[in-house]
Amino acid sequence: MNKQELIQQIRSKKSYLCTGLDTQMEKLPLCLPKTGDGLVKFNRDIIDATAEQSVAYKINTAFYEQYGKAGWEWMEETLLHLPQNTLKIADAKRGDIGNTSSMYAKAFFETLPFDAITVAPYMGEDSLRPFLEFKNKWVICLALTSNAGHADFQLGEYEGKKLYERVIETVCKWGSEENLMFVVGATRAEMVQQIRAMIPEHFLLVPGVGAQGGSLVDITKAAANTDLGLLVNSSRGILYASDKDDYAEAANSEARKLASEMALYV
């Protein structure tokens, strides 16, 4: 999915919701077995319930990798159930020397039909270059994250700038707004406006709304551009809106609630 197709989906659905499929076996509704079949059924039901509101889905690969071969198969079943008109994100946070990154890129862009992958830029350009060479694929680079430990490195000074500013500035030289996004946590809304000034045309993937305390209104006002330019992720708030038989209906209700708020800005 290229940039114009993504923008069109946002305008068509009047939503910039990214639904996160960070599914935990132990949190499945009581009506489902705590098995791979139960997990895949849950994911499919959540996808079907949120497809009208979601322009993107983000699969956190760690939640599936923990189960080994079977987990990869469940992840692939989930991925193949995603609607064609949505951006499919592998939240894998890869980043290694060039030849290793080439293998990661083939894994997620060829073997698995993801549209985008999250990456860690610590090892520099050659670690991101293999991902950027794929046409109509996206590299989503960690910049300013929403976790408590973000300040350990990201807010440190480096050549007169915060490290996250240096990361954004440097990585932008390797790609363009057509194939690069940046992860910016919703809990850092006070800094997002300054980030938007640095990169006025790039999409931002924004986790941290809902369960982590980020404000949809604040992040939208700070970071929206003329094309909206945002994907706001919600995982736990949608996935676990109910632990009963009505889990799909509850997920739909939560997705519709977020999308109705988003519609005010599209």
Q: Which domains does the chain have, with CATH numbers?
A: 3-262 (3.20.20.70)
Which residues neighbour 133 within 8 Å (Cβ) at sequence distance 6 or greater?
105
* Cα(104)–Cα(61) distance, integer angstroms: 13
Is 146 within 8 Å of 185 (Cβ atoms)? Answer: yes
pTM listed for this prediction: 0.96
Decide if 93 is catalytic: yes
* Cα(29)–Cα(223) distance, integer angstroms: 35
Query: Mean pLDDT by 10-residue block, N- to C-terminus, for the chain (266 residues)?
Result: 97 98 97 98 98 98 98 98 98 96 98 98 96 97 91 91 96 98 84 93 88 78 94 95 97 97 95
**How big is the CA angle at 264 (ends 260 and 265), to the nearest 5 degrees?**
120
Tell me the β-bridge partners of 232.
Answer: 17, 206
DSSP string, 203-249: EEEE--BSTT-B-HHHHHHHH-BTTB-EEEEESHHHHTS-SSTTHHH
Is 10 within 8 Å of 228 (Cβ atoms)? Answer: yes
- The DSSP element (H or E) to which 20 belongs, if any, is strand 17-20
Among candidate residues 93, 135, 137, 162, the one labeled active-site is 93
pLDDT value at residue 128: 97
